[in-house]
Chains A and B, each alone.
Chain A
Amino acid sequence: MGQVKVRKSTVVDAPIGAVWNVLRDFNGHDRWHPIVAESAIEDGRAADEIGCVRRFRLRQGGWLREQLLKLSDRDHSFTYCILEAPLPLYDYVATLRLKPITDGGGTFWEWQSTFGAPPGEEAALAALVGEQVYEAGFDAVKAQLGLGSTPRVRAAAPRGAASSSAPIECNGMVLDRFGGPEVLKWQRLSAPVPGPGEVRLRHTAIGVNYIDVYLRTGYYPLLQPPGVPGLEGAGVVVDVGPGVNGILVGDRVGYACMPPGAYAEYRTMKADLLVLLPDEISDETAAAGLLKGMTAEFLLHRVHRVKEGDSILVHAAAGGVGQLLCQWARALGASVIGTVGSLEKARIARAHGCAYPILYTEEDFVEKVREITAGRGCDVVYDAVGRDTFLRSYEALAVRGHLVSFGQASGPIEPVDIAGFVGKSARVSRPNFGHYTGTPAEVRAITDRLFDALRRGIVSVEIGQRFPLSDAAEAHRALGARRTTGSSILLP
């Protein structure tokens, strides 16, 4: 553990009495500090009683408890320690002190602390405490007193050195050429210091998806070897580059987005598409469920708005996205029909809300859909199978039905003349994940609904396999051989 000392100071153009009047109330920081949402002194004690504990909530989320150790009106100073915090600030003791400036009548304000931090996170935590707590506090109190804030001139080099020291050396899986699982190699990597708009993460869990196989084989030209695959992960923010708002060091975050790079112990990436994980959503659930869950969300709520009474058909209903589609559509009040390849998968699909699993190896699903829907067909068909099913999915549609093609597991779809769709006034969509999840606002809206659904048990993410990150090739073999159930994750 590294010992950290943080010291910040400023000059306030106001008499010391006025500044002390704002600061001396140990419970008053929710009135002036921008990161404090609400605060209360425990056990009904006075806020200037030595030993009292303030319990407060950050706007960012997370609770802290801090205890007042010393308070001196004569010295215009108080000292406090952290009892509980969501960040690894060990043995944190801070002192805030004011001194009069006799030459001019202003106030010198010094805020300093010492604490222990996990190895590698010292600089980032020092920057967090110094800038987002102390300097932000300086500016807020000045604003409270009707004064302008001090523009902080940061010399480029020392500034960078202060917030994030150096590249982090780590390990990860590198795709050195297109090919089978064996082309994934365990190699040394380096996560660079985060630049503007970037953060650096320590991964705690990484999602494995079929698209990773497409990247590995070169079927999707989204990654040029040598490169690190993986589009989904969860972890802890180690440090934050300039201009990143709303994400703090120590935050738990997850993501499902381009570019690839998740198969690594550490990663530096753009912050804009990261999602803050609520307490109830574990890192593993996020890594296993974000890509599939976000896909299910926009398929059911944005590509097509599934509503009560709709009949829907889900191909591969026991698959990863299939399960989520069945669960969620069922909860929305739809009548869910699904295709599956085995009796075991029929059981799984049924357990996830698919009322009518069809064993496509034994029954013709179009006929079966007509039978189940009394000849009407389905309002929407979700088809990620592709070549083998596309035209037949059209046959299973109702008039003015919607065929949503979101993958081609069985191979590329043959060219289609859409003139024939006039027979049903059919609509066809070919959604792209990135077009529905390309902005922070979209990601936020989608994940809000997904996390709510997970919290309420409307959908669940089942983790069928856990592999060490260094065994990613084995995870790909299992996925390719259809030996997996539910989601697979890699653990660094």
Chain B
Amino acid sequence: MVKVYSSSVIEAPADRVWAVIRDFNGLPKWHPLIRDSRIENDAPADRVGCIRNFNLKEGGNIREQLLTLSDFDFSCTYSILESPMGVQNYIATLKLTPITDGDRSFIEWSAEFDCPPERERQLADLVGNGVFQGGFDALKRQVTRR
């Protein structure tokens, strides 16, 4: 099993950052890798069990299912149902924690998945740097822009 953990500090209050990332259908609005997204079966985007179906800018379709969503903990968990990445049992958690010193946010994005051993390094790098750190960088631009 591969474990990936990325974390960062975003110079904005947690509730403001959470307003952006809690929208399970909102990835195209902030994540640079995502072209478009829809929720299958017209379900609300914050209903546990709903499935987002999105396309990557570089091509490729991914389906992910929302497993938990907590406005209290500022966290959500989801799994990958289908993707071109070749991962199994992929479960990821995105979590925000307020930093009381300075009214900033500590953001953590972590994932566990299975894949063929020879692809572990490459996939860990793709997820940790491309998806997670790339997302942090975009979020920082997004929430500090105004």
Contacts and interface: CB of A to CB of B under 8 A. Distances in A.
A416 interface: no
A304 interface: no
Interface string A171-182: 000000000000
A9 B102 CA distance: 9
Question: Residue among B5, B97, B106 with the most chain A CB within 10 A?
Answer: B106
B77 interface: no
Interface residues of B, number: 18
B101 interface: yes
A422 to B, nearest CB: 70
Contacts of B103: 153
Interface residues of A, number: 20
B61 interface: no
A138 B7 CA distance: 20
Q: Please report whether the interface of chain B is mostly helix, strand, loop or mixed according to DSSP.
A: strand
A10 B98 CA distance: 9
A235 to B, nearest CB: 31
A101 interface: yes
Interface in B91-114: 97-104, 106, 108
B108 A99 contact: yes
Interface string B1-36: 000011111000000000000000000000000000
Q: Please report whether the interface of chain A is mostly helix, strand, loop or mixed according to DSSP.
A: mixed
B101 A150 contact: yes
A8 B108 contact: no
B136 interface: yes
A106 B9 CA distance: 10
Nearest to A149: B101
Given A11-B106, A108-B106, A135 B101 contact: yes
A374 B102 CA distance: 77
A101 B133 CA distance: 11
A100 interface: yes
Contact of A99 (B98, B100, B102, B106): B106
Nearest to A135: B101
B102 A150 contact: yes
